Amino acid sequence: MKVAIVGTGYVGLPTAVSFAEHGNDVTCIDVDEKKIDQLNRGIPTIHEYGLPEALRQRVEAGNLHFTTDYREGLVGAAAVFCAVGTPETADGSPDMKYVYGVAEKVGKTVTESIVFITKSTVPVGTAREVGRITASVTDIEIPVVSNPEFMAEGSALEDVRHPSRIVIGTDSDEAREVMLELYRPYVRNGYPIRVMSPESAELTKYMSNGFLANKTSFMNEGATLARLLGADFEDVRRAMGDDPRIGNKNMYVGPGWGGSCFPKDSQSLVWQARRLGFDFKTMRAADEANDIKMMEAPSRVLEYFGGDIRGKKVALWGLAFKKNTDDMRVSPAVEILNKLLEEGAIVSAFDPAAMDNAQQAYQGDDRVTFSKSKYDVLEGADALVIATDWEEFTNPDVGEMKIRMESPVIFDWRNLIDPELMRKHNVYYESNGRPVVVPNA
């Protein structure tokens, strides 16, 4: 099938690669000329595992193309996916100008019927609004589908290749048939396809992200409580997860949830409810708990240094909002960094993938330096905060760390390192909901 995908970001690009891998002829459309130029050369614009090889193969095979020209991208296409951003606005509602802009542009460009599929995360009612917009600019029939994306950054390509479920929200029989044809190869292994109304599909996405955000907030607050009570939350969470009603997936604790989705989607869910006079209390509470959690690691650092970290050199491992991505949008690591700067610390940071983004973000700020390795950032540091769960931070050479650091004081808010290792090396080690390791005098 000939397919167009508008938006070549974290969602659009892996989706395009995957559809092309199934033999479809895929053209991606983006307004960013630099991105399109780079992608046409077969070079990914985002950090995702497996993407460089897969992208190159598809571009070389000749069934994955990139353009800034809507006409070129849409000609002959049976379906167009909309995967542009829906960023948060001041009142919590998502900014819909990109999605609606795409709907109008598609309506004005197509010369024959095409199925319009929204992959972007959009508030309930968007499918109907997209239908109204296209109908206002063309007489050509454009059936609309809500097909939310559930992939996670860091495993995006694998997730789109093997989706946990495929949600299709539409009232149109024709659109449903096109979707089933496109997704049939994905369900050979038994992944479910859930067909429903557009409203239900749109809400499914928000409720899924909201649920995961609630779960993480609950676990993160549990870790705080464990610290205060003197329990070890790693033991607690494992034993909790043994209950099949709870399960052991996604039970890890951290410095807060972030990224480009959970924060804005939780805000949007609260906003969608508020518009109808309904107060979505659990969602609001999860969000509030998260804001507090993000400040926990820096406040522990402050407390360790007696409330004053002015002039202290703090090293930071991790800048991306989670491992295996270069995405720093609403990253808890960045929140920690900014708080440390606000309190007067000097920060040296390292991340295996997000350094380019970080250097751009902090250009000209001489309070922040970046180093090429996790050990180089420790040079002369008074403390280290571990903020992102990269594998390479899990089993460090503690001897080397002690040589590089001014004082071996570690705040591991991802619980990556074994406290026993820290005890053996006589290091001050605080983690997220586990007893503090205090060095012998």
E strand segments, 327-367: 346-350
Instruction: Tell me the window of 3-11, 71-79, 241-249, 406-414 that interacts with ligand NAD (CB under 6 A).
Output: 3-11
Q: How many residues does the chain have?
A: 441
Instruction: Tell me the window of 7-15, 135-143, 304-312, 335-343 that interacts with ligand NAD (CB under 6 A).
Output: 7-15
Instruction: Tell me the window of 2-10, 301-309, 313-321, 338-346 that interacts with ligand NAD (CB under 6 A).
Output: 2-10
Positive or negative CA dihedral for 188, 192, 196, 200? Answer: negative
Residues between 34 and 93 that touch ligand NAD (CB under 6 A) = 35, 83-86
Residues 6+ apart with CB under 8 A from 98: 7, 84, 85, 86, 120
Residue 235: Cβ within 10 Å count: 12
Hunting for tokens 């009570």 — which residue is that?
229
Q: How far, in Å, CA of 402 to CA of 408, rounded? A: 6
42, 50, 92, 101: residue in contact with ligand NAD (rule CB under 6 A): 101
From residue 102 to residue 131, the character string flagging contacts with ligand NAD as x (rule: CB under 6 A) and all else as - is x-----------------xx----------
**∠319-321-325 over CA atoms, to 5°?**
85
Catalytic site includes residue 82: no
Q: How far is the CB of 105 from ligand NAD (least distance, A)?
A: 7
Q: How far is the CB of 350 from ligand NAD (least distance, A)?
A: 23
- Count of residues that interact with ligand NAD, criterion CB under 6 A: 26
**321 interacts with ligand NAD by CB under 6 A:** no
**153 interacts with ligand NAD by CB under 6 A:** yes
Q: How far is the CB of 162 from ligand NAD (least distance, A)?
A: 15
Helix, strand, or coil (residue 269): helix
Q: How far, in Å, CA of 126 to CA of 252, rounded? A: 34
149, 202, 221, 326: residue in contact with ligand NAD (rule CB under 6 A): 149
Q: How far, in Å, CA of 6 to CA of 70, rounded? A: 9
Helix, strand, or coil (residue 95): coil
Ramachandran angles phi, psi of 258, nearest 5°:
-150, -140
6, 55, 79, 333: residue in contact with ligand NAD (rule CB under 6 A): 6
Q: How far is the CB of 73 from ligand NAD (least distance, A)?
A: 9
Helix, strand, or coil (residue 196): strand
Q: Which residues are catalytic?
A: 261
Which positions touch ligand NAD (CB under 6 A)? 6-12, 29-32, 35, 83-86, 98, 101-102, 120-121, 149, 151, 153, 260-261
